[in-house]
Structure 1
Amino acid sequence: MRRRIYWLLPDLASARRTMDDLLLARIAEPHIHFVAREDVDMSGLHAANVLQTSDVLRAAQLGLVIGGVVGTVAGLAVAIFFPIVGDSPQWGVAAVLAVLGGLFGAWAASMIGISAPSHRLERFQPAIEQGQILLMVDVPRSRVAEIEARLQALHPEAHLEGVEPNIPAFP
């Protein structure tokens, strides 16, 4: 189980030094994510991807649930009131429409969620717009205190912004 530690760094030079220190602490690069304004040159840093900076996963989950419910209701109505073969309800149609509704809902909602900024990063948006760089580092639960102490000792210019107890499985 990993925990996500948030740090705000004042500039690119500090971010690059922090990246090097995390690599020396044996934190793998895929677990280090930086977020900055769009006009900032992030070369040499592992920039956060769309899964970490948008609400695509949250939106897809919500769309799956809503689409599945709507698909189930529509499927039940079709199965009971409009049977395809004979006069008995066609329960298979209800199941198919429930699955298709869930898939369509997840797809449609993810298209909306990909353009929405992550609700987890909203509190950092003003600092990012001012030119600071957000560091998100995912570390094993047993190393959180060690990594926090290391970064505080090596980077007094950085600000610890907290630890997220449950990071998403995919981003």
Structure 2
Amino acid sequence: MRRIYFLAPDIAITKQIVDELLMARIEERRIHVIAKRGTPLENLPEANLLQKSDFIPAVEQGLAIGGSTGILAGLVAVVLPPASTVIAGGVLLATTLAGAGVGAWVSGMVGMTVGNRRIKQFEEAIEAGQFLVLVDVSSERIDEIEKCVRQHLPKVEIEGTEPKVPAFP
């Protein structure tokens, strides 16, 4: 999946974008709208915490760093005299899983408090009253969706695509 970013000047055009996307058979759960705090979105699909924060990248980083730290701690524990070769594999596995779990949890908590890095570049436009529409589509449909939106809504700025989107948000 890839994420396309559209910047719309007002709510009427944002509604048209969402309608065009729905008619192009994009599921509503794949469309996310971000607006200035306090702006009523009416029936538009609002972006949730996963789209507005750096939660997913933070969890991924926490898993990697925590897992690496856990492996190192497990290797140190295996080298120490009380550990025997029979329990060495269990110790190594347990410390790796514990490290990855703790790393993901701590990083996820931090990531929820940090705004999405990709969205930061749109903060001025959002605060000025524009609407940011995020659309998650398969790589094959990017050109089709961009062309469809440009054709019907020339006032909309297509702000590019993100390389990949995690499967679960």
Question: TM-score, normalized by length of structure 1?
Answer: 0.87
Give how far 1:112 is off: 0.3
Aligned to 1:160: 158
- Looking at secondary structure, tell me which structure has more helix per residue: 2
Give how far 1:153 is off: 2.4
Any stretches of 5+ residues in structure 2 without a counterpart? none
- Alpha carbons of 1:82 and 1:15: their partners in 2 closer, same or farther (altered >3 Å)? farther
- Alpha carbons of 1:139 and 1:82: their partners in 2 closer, same or farther (altered >3 Å)? same
- 1:121-136 aligned within 5 A: 121-136=119-134
Rounded Cα–Cα distance in structure 2 between residues aligned with 1:83 and 1:11: 67
Rounded Cα–Cα distance in structure 2 between residues aligned with 1:15 and 1:64: 37
Rounded Cα–Cα distance in structure 2 between residues aligned with 1:30 and 1:38: 21
Amino acid aligned to 2:37:
E
Rounded Cα–Cα distance in structure 1 between residues aligned with 2:69 and 2:163: 33
Rounded Cα–Cα distance in structure 2 between residues aligned with 1:140 and 1:156: 23
Q: Percent identity among equivalent residues? A: 41
Pick from 83, 86, 94 the counterpart of residue 92 of structure 2: 94
Aligned-residue CA RMSD in angstroms? Answer: 1.9
Rounded Cα–Cα distance in structure 1 between residues aligned with 2:77 and 2:118: 40
* Structure 2 SS opposite 1:134: strand
Give how far 1:82 is off: 5.6
Rounded Cα–Cα distance in structure 2 between residues aligned with 1:76 and 1:144: 46
Deviations 1:86-127 (A, max 9, x none): xx3541223211211111111111000111111222221221
Instruction: Report how many aligned residue pairs link the two structures.
Output: 167
Question: TM-score, normalized by length of structure 2?
Answer: 0.87
Give how far 1:7 is off: 0.7
